[in-house]
Structure 1
Amino acid sequence: MSQYKHLNRRHFLKATSTAIAAGVFTATHSQSRGEDSPNERPVFATIGLRNQGWTITDKSTKFADFAAFADVDDNVLGAINEKLGKKTGKKADAYSDYRKVLERDDIDAVMIATPDHWHTKISVEAMLAGKDVYCEKPLTLTIAEGKLIEKVVKQTGRVFQVGTMQRTENDQRFLKAIALIRAGRIGEIRKVTCGINGATGSPFIPAVEVPQGLSWDVWLGPAPKVPYRALPEIRQGYGGGVPLYTNCHYAWRNWYEYSGGQMNDWGAHHVDIATWALGASDTGPSKITPVSYSLPVEYKDGYPTVEDRYNSPTKFEIHAQMPGDIPLVITSEGDNGILFEGTEGRFFVNRGRLSGKPVEQLESNPLPEGAVEDVYGGPVSENHTANFIAAMKSRKQPISDVWTHNRMLETCHLANISIRLGRELNWDPEKREIIGDEQANSFLSRESRKGYEIDM
């Protein structure tokens, strides 16, 4: 087994980027099959297929073959396999139990796009089974889960890519934003604001019969056992074809039992770029202050008092004190994106635009040659999967590694804890614990439901 070597964002392996630049997208170490086959396309499996599961599969078929799918909903499992067959001419083997995927020696890597509360269990067990892992963001439900994943990555030497694809994709806008900052185009940073959208509450959602084809108890997995809830109105657009109000399907993002709300959803994207730009990927915040927030249900001791409607924040403004006493503001107000403000200017970036005077000045004063590549650590990959596969070949960690992701996500996790308890939190980034607050520290981990503990 290849020896593990930790690379943070400043030490991302140049050889990986060289392989990408040379077009080596189809190589894999093939450790799980006991061979080194540099000319062979890697074999992937996707676990969790609804929404983002198909998205990451779809954009990966150029670089990898998909041998297996797993999902607890037979309906989505069949529908996505039909899509794969139409696109590639070959369907994958379909399983309702992800463990069947991990037992297969022919699969090099798994892509995980389940609800957040399943990420850690499947990721850990996949690595222990000899698979490299691409897991959607946010990687974890708790800070303790992040520490466990780090431990297992180090223990097994597996390659692990987190799906924070803004580091690679979106026309390199976010990489250009960081390059602008590193080139001093706004002077010294004074403030960063991440707009990540608010959410809506819900009406009372009744317990109803579980839809045919959905294994509800398995969907819940490590989370507490509760009834399936849904109202008949159907969601349109992204995540369409499922109940608008439910504790499953797309709407699980509005429940703390399975997610971190918008704070961990969009926050995992924008706070990631902001933390990277601030050079704080090794440290994170020292203080979290809930300036304002709105919860859709009443809370007591940090827990919702009812279980029949959405419970994650609908509005919020959180201030995180970053190194150098730079405030990082996370807000549900304003445009979705990141506003960087410095002593000599300001600019805004999101997936659709990079704007502001420093950006306009690039026409007459372009960035130094190679500035974007310096941020990335070499030539920028065609997409996030291409970066993952190049890392599989080099056996080095990819651009969205678990360490920088977890440090960033700690800010989001702490923000949620501060909202749930309604108070400021002081964070020790070295010990990775909340200072002088025993109750708050109890939220750094969660107990898994019996029968769904992580199989170590």
Structure 2
Amino acid sequence: MTNSRRKFISSATAIVAGASISTVFPSTLSAFPKLSSPADTIRIGAIGVNGMGWSDLTAILKNPGVECVALCDVDKNVLDKRAAELAAKGMKVKTYADYRELLKDKNIDAVVIGSPDHWHCLMMVEACQAGKDVYVEKPIGNSIAECRAMVAAQKKSGRVVQVGQWQRSQKHFRDAMDFVHSGKLGKIRLVKVWSYFSWVTPISKLPDGTPPAGVDYNMWLGPAPKRPFNPNRFHFNFRWFWDYAGGLMTDWGVHLLDYALLGMKAEIPNSIMAAGGKFANPDSGAETPDTLTTVYEFGDFNIQWEHAIGIDDGPYNRQHGIAFIGNNGTLVLDRNGWEVIPEGKKMEAVALQKSSDNGLDLHAKNFIEVVRSRKLEDLHAPVQVGADIAIFSQMGNIAFRTGKKLYWDKQKGLFTDAAANKFIAKEYHNGYKIPSV
């Protein structure tokens, strides 16, 4: 991490004073390996086990010498279901409705945080303060200020913190970066990054109602504004509301834009502009845009993000991907593999190099290995990586929400626009405060 990039996260420290869409991993538990001696066993507690939190825990438990000892979820229906699934595999766990009680458990060495995005910061910071190592889902924070607080908390505590950007552990992604950095593509002028998903459909407006039986709705809201319960805002669909998340930009964007930055060895954009809206369904019950184009300018190249909910056919006939467009050819990369499409006869084509491994399993293994070794430099997605890309994605959302072309003051760690700076920190509610580290 370069000094300038560190300043991007750590500057303006006075400001300091959110499950995933991915469905590629099964939620069923395979047989667990036998544990090592009790003294060597890493004991895991999981907070938020409905979606990716459960997938993360499942992957972590595939490693020898690891066991789950506690689960926490505000939805008792989910909590009881997951506890029963673990019991069927021979793991009896304590269950909690309040994550703070789980963090008090001295029998827990590390926690998995799979809560909605608006809870990530408080849970991760408090877990570090409680002496736990942490595997936290992406995006790491729900605002720029939260990301800064989380970086500071990890630095102060020295705990192992792995962010759930599991593509950082996949071989074909690393191989693609090696090719991009080889220079064979020639001058790269544009990097296109996209997510087109027909399996995500615009949600219809629903009336407010009563929380389902067994759900502690006040705890689910936590630091978010107090609002009547609405099924649109609960479980999977929370990601389409600004109170809790940032739409596809911060959900898939942190995965894919991360590799755009990595491939270009890029840090801070000169400017950011964005346009979009609820074009697929103007009457959708969601707040975040179903269609969005964002352009990050870097002086001699641009990174362009685009997403479209309800459509499958994205660029290069791929639902999602990253295209490094060079003078000699274009490298196209997604979760299935990568290939090179030549520009005329300027270079040789490279046939599809297919993915050959399980990124989530490898990411979980990397986390456990570092928990044992304490070699933080070996983490594939440490807290700084997660903060960098979460902030980058949030910049795009802020440009959309202000409707302005934005510029970043590297020295102050602020936008040059006052209206944009109001989005740097989210207001906390219901007696909660953003952590002061």
TM-score in terms of structure 1 length: 0.78
The answer as to 2:432 corresponding to 1:452 is yes
Alpha-carbon distance in 1 for matches of 2:141, 2:153? 14
TM superposition shift of 1:89:
1.3
Q: 1:239-318 counterparts in 2 under 5 A? A: 246-280=232-266, 283-290=267-274, 292-295=275-278, 309-318=285-294
Check the 8 A contact 1:27/1:42 in 2, yes or no: no
What residue is the counterpart of 2:13 in the other structure?
none
The answer as to 2:376 corresponding to 1:400 is no
The answer as to 2:166 corresponding to 1:165 is yes
Could you give the per-residue CA deviations for residues 405-428 of structure 1, whole angstroms, max 9, x where no partner exists? 222222210111111111111113
Check the 8 A contact 1:137/1:163 in 2, yes or no: yes
Alpha-carbon distance in 2 for matches of 1:381, 1:53? 12
Please give the secondary structure, in 1, of the residue aligned with 2:393. helix
What residue is the counterpart of 1:384 in the other structure?
363
Q: Which ranges in structure 2 are unaligned for 5 or more consecutive residues?
A: 7-32, 309-313, 354-358
Check the 8 A contact 2:195/2:321 in 1, yes or no: yes
Change (3 A) 1:195 1:455: closer
Check the 8 A contact 1:125/1:454 in 2, yes or no: no
Alpha-carbon distance in 1 for matches of 2:245, 2:425? 13
TM-score in terms of structure 2 length: 0.81
Check the 8 A contact 2:240/2:247 in 1, yes or no: yes
Alpha-carbon distance in 2 for matches of 1:309, 1:267? 22
What residue is the counterpart of 2:79 in the other structure?
77
Alpha-carbon distance in 2 for matches of 1:448, 1:284? 27
Alpha-carbon distance in 2 for matches of 1:362, 1:188? 18
Could you give the per-residue CA deviations for residues 331-369 of structure 1, whole angstroms, max 9, x where no partner exists? 015231111111221121111231234797558xx9xxx
What residue is the counterpart of 2:193 in the other structure?
194
What residue is the counterpart of 2:27 in the other structure?
none
TM superposition shift of 1:101:
1.3
Alpha-carbon distance in 2 for matches of 1:186, 1:228? 51
What amino acid does structure 2 have at the position aligned with 1:133?
V
The answer as to 2:148 corresponding to 1:147 is yes
Please give the secondary structure, in 1, of the residue aligned with 2:55. helix
Please give the secondary structure, in 2, of the residue aligned with 1:346. strand
What residue is the counterpart of 1:321 in the other structure?
297
Please give the secondary structure, in 1, of the residue aligned with 2:205. coil
Q: 1:186-225 counterparts in 2 under 5 A? A: 186-197=185-196, 200-225=201-226
Alpha-carbon distance in 2 for matches of 1:381, 1:352? 14
Alpha-carbon distance in 1 for matches of 2:87, 2:184? 49
What residue is the counterpart of 2:419 in the other structure?
439
Alpha-carbon distance in 2 for matches of 1:182, 1:212? 54
The answer as to 2:420 corresponding to 1:418 is no
What amino acid does structure 2 have at the position aligned with 1:177?
A
Could you give the per-residue CA deviations for residues 124-156 of structure 1, whole angstroms, max 9, x where no partner exists? 000000011110001111000011111111111
What residue is the counterpart of 2:93 in the other structure?
92
Could you give the per-residue CA deviations for residues 79-135 of structure 1, whole angstroms, max 9, x where no partner exists? 11122223x311321111111211111211111000000000000000000011110
Alpha-carbon distance in 1 for matches of 2:361, 2:384? 23
Alpha-carbon distance in 1 for matches of 2:203, 2:249? 18
Alpha-carbon distance in 1 for matches of 2:360, 2:226? 42
TM superposition shift of 1:455:
6.2
Alpha-carbon distance in 1 for matches of 2:238, 2:102? 24
What amino acid does structure 1 have at the position aligned with 2:47?
I
Could you give the per-residue CA deviations for residues 259-300 of structure 1, whole angstroms, max 9, x where no partner exists? 0000000001001111111112xx33221011x31147999x
